Each structure stands twice: as structure tokens, then as C-alpha cells.
Amino acid sequence: MNIAIIGGGSVGLLLAARLCLAGSKVQVITRTRQQADELTKHGLLLHSLQGEQKRIHIQAVSMEGDLPKADLYVLAVKQTSLTEVLPVLRKIDPSARVLAVQNGMGHDDHLKEVLALNQIYFGVHAEGARRHSYTEVEHTGRGIWQVGSIIGQAQESLPVDPVIEAFLSVGEVAGLTIKYVFDIHGVMWRKLMANAVINPLTTLFEIPNGALLESSDTVTLMKRLFVEAKEVASLHGQKIDESTWQEIVQICRNTSRNYSSMLQDLLNCRPLEIEAINGYIVKQGRERNIATPHQEAVYKATLLKAGLMAQRG
């Protein structure tokens, strides 16, 4: 199958590298011509979990004009860049499928504007990745990939789409721990819960994930953010319990030395996905008359910090 990965950030480059090493036909579609040219000229340098370095020849083009033909488009741009991609997604072949791997929520509404429902799939992963440059990415942590249709549990009686089934197969060959799930929306909500607790606090305090557990004060803040997000999630039919809290704590332990994607964006002066994470929870709370004071506080504080850092350059 032909796979096109839209986005040359940490997740897109890591996935491209692993699929290429397994023999898959992959093309990276970057936002800038400069990155596409550098990837084509120099290849992609992968730092593996084992500390090895591998230079991978990779095909890359910039996001100008129509997208190259593919069976599957992995949408790996940030939420903040999604609107730039929508016009070209509108033109893809109806037989193609799109796998969106964004953090946060709300992107489903954008995708439904330009794609048929049977084309839209979501991917939720726990892989750790860090991009060092346009042509260099580090694999910092292994995690599970979960894939499912926007139609969700309504599709449970239907066979898995052949394009998605083929991607699951090539993913396994590439060493991904990957599975198909029918309740992808539940998985997305649990990922949102983790991001809404971990990301803003690590960003505000500029600490790795594991440091959140080293102070009773930060653990208390985490728990308050969790409880508010849980109340909002429950009105969306999500059953969030103590096990979800324990999952978040375990994520901090498993990725103790990792910097959250939001903190990496802040330190590299990139736009933050705060609107699609804590901002989404605050907005949903307001619409349903649920108070989320701690979520709103970290949301506003993170926006303020990002603005101040941008002014300083």
C-alpha cells in the first residue's frame, strides 16, 4: 500500500522512519519546501530506543498544490495547523482513507467538513518522539497505537476497512504495538484526560513528566484537573473512574524523563495545542454549566506564558 504522512514533526517523522525500515512505501508531505528538500537530499536520521543511529532514504514533498496519490494519508500535523491541510484533503480520492493522530479534541468537526465519514479514522498512540531538526528524530518511548473509525461503535458489526486492515499489518511488521478498537472516542477521551492533566503543568513548570509526581502540591493540582475533566467527560457519555487516574500516574512514571509535546512546543517557540486540550474542556464545561476553575486557570496561564516567551523571542 502507498502511505503518505502529512506533517514532518516528531510523530510524523518517527512513523515514517519505522515504516520505511520495514519496507513500506512511504512519502512525507511537509509544510515547508525547505524541510522537503533537506529530507530528500540528506535523508532522515533516526535515533532508536537502543541508542543506534540509522540514516534512512525517504521521499518528501512540500504541501503545495494537490496531495500525491496514496491509499492512506496519516494526518500528523498539530491541531494548530489543521486548517491549512483541509483544502487539499477535500481533493483526495474517495477510496483513500485518512488517519488523524492529533492530540486533543474538536478536529472531528473539521474533518467532517471535507471528507466522507467512511474516510475518517483516528489514531491514538503513546509513542515518545522528539524532533531535533528537519531531518532528525529520536524515538524516546514505546507505546500502544489504537485505531478506529469516526463512526465508532456503530461500525462494530461491520468488517474492518481493507485499507485500515492493511495499515495495521504493515504497522505490526514495523514493530508497532497496534490494534483496532471500535470505541475510539472513549480512547480519545482518556488520552485527552491525560494530556489535560500532564501537558499544561509540565509546560508551566518546565519539568519532565515524572517530576509531577515528586511533589504533593503538583499531585494535588493534577487531581483537581482530573476531577474537572472527568465531570465534563461524563456528560459526553464517558465512564471515567479511578483506573483512568491511575493510568495517568503510570504515564508519568513510564515517561518520567520525557518532556511533554506541549513543553517541547513552548521551548521551540511553536504554537501550542492548548486550545484543543484544556481549552476544549473549558469550552465544553461552559456549554453545560460545569465549573472548571482549575482547567481554566492553567489554560489561561499557559497561553500567557506562551505569549510572553514569544515576545522575548
Q: Examine the pLDDT at 10 and tell me if it is beyond 70.
A: yes
Q: Does residue 266 or residue 255 have the better pLDDT?
A: 266
Please report, rounded to a whole number, the percentage of residues in the chain having pLDDT higher than 70: 98
Mean pLDDT over 122-149 rounds to: 93
Characterize 148-173 residue by residue with b for buried, 16 or more Cβ atoms within 10 angstroms of its Cβ, and e for exposed: bbbbbeebeeeeebebbebbbebbee
Which residues are designated catalytic?
A: 191
Mean pLDDT over 275-303 rounds to: 98
261 touches 199 (CB < 8 A):
yes
Classify domain 186-312 by CATH architecture: Orthogonal Bundle (1.10)
Give, in words, the CATH class of 2-182: alpha beta
pTM of the model: 0.93
CA distance 252 to 203: 14
Structure confidence by residue, pLDDT tens digits, 175-221: 999 999 999 999 999 999 999 999 999 999 999 999 999 999 999 99
CA distance 128 to 10: 9
Q: How confident is the model at residue 154 (pLDDT cuts 50, 70, 90)?
A: low
CA distance 113 to 42: 37
Q: How far is CA 88 from the centre of its chain?
A: 20
Q: Examine the pLDDT at 142 and tell me if it is beyond 90.
A: no
In the prediction, which pLDDT does 181 show?
95
C-alpha cell at 109: 468537526
Please report, rounded to a whole number, the percentage of residues in the chain having pLDDT higher than 90: 89
C-alpha cell at 281: 474542556
Say how many Å lie between the first and final Cα of the chain, rounded: 43
C-alpha cell at 284: 465544553
Domain ranges of the chain: 2-182, 186-312
C-alpha cell at 248: 495517568
In the prediction, which pLDDT does 174 show?
97
In the prediction, which pLDDT does 210 show?
96
Q: How confident is the model at residue 4 (pLDDT cuts 50, 70, 90)?
A: very high
